[in-house]
């Protein structure tokens, strides 16, 4: 029995990983979706030794995108995929699923670290809440968006290394934490939340035992290697990009422009569509809070208290970084969703602890709170991709395959010096009416097709242009592929960005 009990955490973690692969296995049949996938792949291939140096010394997509980012770990993952799979999309989708499964496992591991090893309820529920959130259907089908789950996984593993019991007890240093922080920051910019979060999390966990001032000193000492490595990476990023980078218009002024993250994206999608739904949401949250804080004041915060504060700080930090960018796309929700999963799991653990500790009617607040939390989570999970048939991505993949197949049939007969006019470029699959989880599936853009031709036809000189582009006049030893775009498809700032390159 004791051996089975010791194996239980590993079994639960393995079950969550297998569930992650099973829930989103449909993506293995999809093609190279998303506007940025082909450009990242084209800029990250390793055909000679100097290409590896180039990945670490140039911006993401080598200037093909209208914003400036530095994500060498993401590009290295594409370089490995290209070496293994070439232009077979199944390998890239499998890597995406593996990154997502790693994120689920890291959330599970972090909550085990924050909640203690006495119970599996909190970590198992946190992993399940993260796995079932509908926002992942915005991320997983697009290989270029794998930076979100991979960056979250490294961030969670960094926090788990920092908050190891031996580290908090002063028995050893968190040697793996700086490495995980570096990997996270080199994967996605949202990991810079670790700069304030790492010392804050250490201080919150050390303060009950050491007191405020000694805990602060110890926290800064433990976090010093991570902070120094983060500063070095930030300087490298600044030098490579020639500035802070990011999207045009990003900056602190965006923090004052409304909510950083739309609550309707994190909560059940129909939570604000009727008065009854709003009251149900508010009532459920009140019952959860009442159950969690129903104990005597002297007992508050002893069970999962620091962990809940760490999760809340992560949620706030992730939301502020999203607000800084000035964009609030649904596929930016991976980090807030991870923090929300931590909060849900740790709250459930706290409520279950109160339910076990009390007797008689004193158990009622915790029981009602646990029931309300279960209802809210089931409400949210009812929108998860495994339980609903979201057809936007399969339809987008079919349109992509049809368009590229038609192009491939015509290109062998296209002579140099001539122009080949394609069908209108399939840029988006619009969202289905009444289905709030998928906001539109991205397929191809002008610069995506340009990168695809570079990958698929390395021996031919092909120039992709639009009817408005002066390059479509033909001549020379290149074949011009003239791509009609939907009205308004090319943004003026993107044209300006390209002309300044």
Averaged confidence pLDDT in the chain: 82
Q: 334 and 259 share a domain?
A: yes
Cα 214 to the chain's mean position, in Å? 35
Neighbours of 18 (CB within 10 A): 11
Q: 358 and 439 share a domain?
A: no
Considering the chain, what percentage of its residues have pLDDT values greater than 90?
Answer: 35
418: left (phi over 0), alpha (psi -120 to 50) or beta: beta
Considering the chain, what percentage of its residues have pLDDT values greater than 70?
Answer: 85
The answer to whether residue 280 is domain-embedded is: yes
CB contact at 8 A, 226 and 194: yes
Question: DSSP secondary structure string, 71-135?
Answer: -HHHHHHHHHHHHHHTT-HHHHHHHHHHHHHHHHHHHHHHHHHHH-SS-SHHHHHHHHHHHH-GG
Q: How far is Cα 179 from Cα 162, in angstroms, rounded to an integer?
A: 11
Domain count along the chain: 2
Q: 103 and 242 share a domain?
A: yes
Q: How far is Cα 481 from Cα 460, in angstroms, rounded to an integer?
A: 12
Residue 500 is predicted with a pLDDT of 32
CB contact at 8 A, 233 and 185: yes
Which range of 218-232, 353-367, 426-440 scores highest in mean pLDDT? It is 218-232
Residue 149 is predicted with a pLDDT of 95
CB contact at 8 A, 155 and 129: no
Q: 315 and 399 share a domain?
A: no
Q: 440 and 344 share a domain?
A: no
CB contact at 8 A, 162 and 211: no
Q: 321 and 198 share a domain?
A: yes
Q: 94 and 235 share a domain?
A: yes
The answer to whether residue 65 is domain-embedded is: no
Residue 170 is predicted with a pLDDT of 85
Whether 391 shows a pLDDT value over 80: the answer reads yes
The pTM of the whole model exceeds 0.85: yes
**What number is the average pLDDT over the span 149-154?**
96
Q: CB burial class (10 A; 0-12, 13-18, 19+) of residue 79?
A: buried
The answer to whether residue 66 is domain-embedded is: no
Q: What is the domain extent for residue 299?
A: 2-30+88-387
The answer to whether residue 204 is domain-embedded is: yes
Whether 357 shows a pLDDT value over 80: the answer reads no
Q: 413 and 488 share a domain?
A: yes
Which residues are registered as beta bridge partners of 420?
481
Q: 340 and 436 share a domain?
A: no
pLDDT tens, residue by residue, 274-329: 777 777 777 777 777 777 776 544 344 444 578 889 998 999 898 888 877 777 77
Domain limit, last residue, from 387, 414, 429: 387
Q: 219 and 241 share a domain?
A: yes
């Amino acid at each position: 029995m004791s051996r089975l009990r010791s194996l239980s955490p590993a079994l639960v973690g393995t079950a969550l990983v297998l569930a992650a692969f099973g829930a989103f296995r449909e993506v293995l049949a999809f093609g190279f979706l998303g506007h940025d996938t082909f450009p990242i792949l084209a800029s990250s291939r390793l055909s000679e030794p100097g290409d590896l140096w180039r990945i670490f010394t140039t911006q993401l997509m080598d200037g093909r995108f209208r914003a400036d980012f530095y994500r060498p770990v993401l590009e290295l993952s594409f370089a490995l995929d290209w070496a293994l799979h070439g232009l077979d999309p199944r390998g890239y989708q499998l890597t995406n699923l593996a990154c997502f499964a790693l994120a689920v496992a890291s959330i599970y591991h972090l909550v085990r670290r924050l909640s203690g090893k006495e119970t599996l309820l909190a970590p198992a529920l946190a992993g399940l809440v993260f796995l079932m959130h509908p926002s992942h259907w915005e991320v997983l089908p697009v290989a270029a968006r794998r930076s979100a789950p991979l960056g979250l996984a490294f961030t969670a593993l960094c926090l788990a290394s920092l908050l190891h019991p031996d580290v908090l007890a002063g028995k050893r240093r968190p040697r793996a934490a700086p490495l995980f922080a570096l990997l996270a920051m080199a994967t996605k910019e949202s990991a810079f939340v670790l700069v304030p979060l790492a010392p804050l999390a250490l201080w919150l966990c050390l303060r009950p035992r050491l007191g405020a001032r000694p805990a602060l000193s110890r926290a800064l000492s433990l976090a010093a290697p991570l902070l120094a490595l983060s500063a070095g990476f930030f300087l490298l990023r600044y030098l490579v990009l020639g500035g802070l980078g990011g999207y045009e218009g990003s900056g602190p002024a965006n923090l004052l422009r409304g909510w950083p993250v739309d609550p309707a994206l994190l909560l059940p999608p129909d939570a604000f569509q009727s008065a009854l739904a709003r009251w149900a949401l508010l009532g459920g949250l009140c019952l959860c809070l009442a159950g969690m804080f129903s104990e005597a004041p002297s007992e508050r915060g002893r069970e999962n208290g620091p962990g809940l504060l760490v999760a809340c700080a992560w949620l706030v930090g992730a939301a502020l970084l999203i607000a800084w960018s000035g964009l609030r796309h649904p596929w930016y929700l991976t980090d807030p969703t991870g923090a929300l999963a931590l909060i849900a799991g740790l709250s459930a653990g706290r409520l279950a602890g109160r339910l076990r500790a009390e007797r008689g009617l004193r158990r009622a607040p915790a029981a009602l709170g646990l029931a309300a939390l279960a209802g809210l989570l089931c409400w949210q999970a009812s929108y998860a991709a495994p339980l609903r048939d979201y057809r936007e991505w399969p339809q987008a993949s079919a349109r992509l395959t049809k368009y590229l197949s038609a192009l491939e049939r015509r290109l062998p007969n296209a002579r140099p010096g001539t122009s080949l006019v394609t069908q209108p470029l399939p840029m988006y699959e619009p969202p289905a009416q009444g289905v709030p989880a998928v906001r539109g599936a991205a397929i191809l853009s002008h610069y995506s097709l340009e990168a695809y031709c570079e990958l698929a036809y390395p021996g031919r000189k092909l120039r992709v242009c639009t009817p408005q582009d002066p390059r479509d006049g033909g001549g020379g030893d290149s074949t011009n592929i003239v791509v009609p775009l939907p009205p308004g498809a090319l943004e003026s700032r993107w044209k300006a960005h390209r002309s300044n390159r």
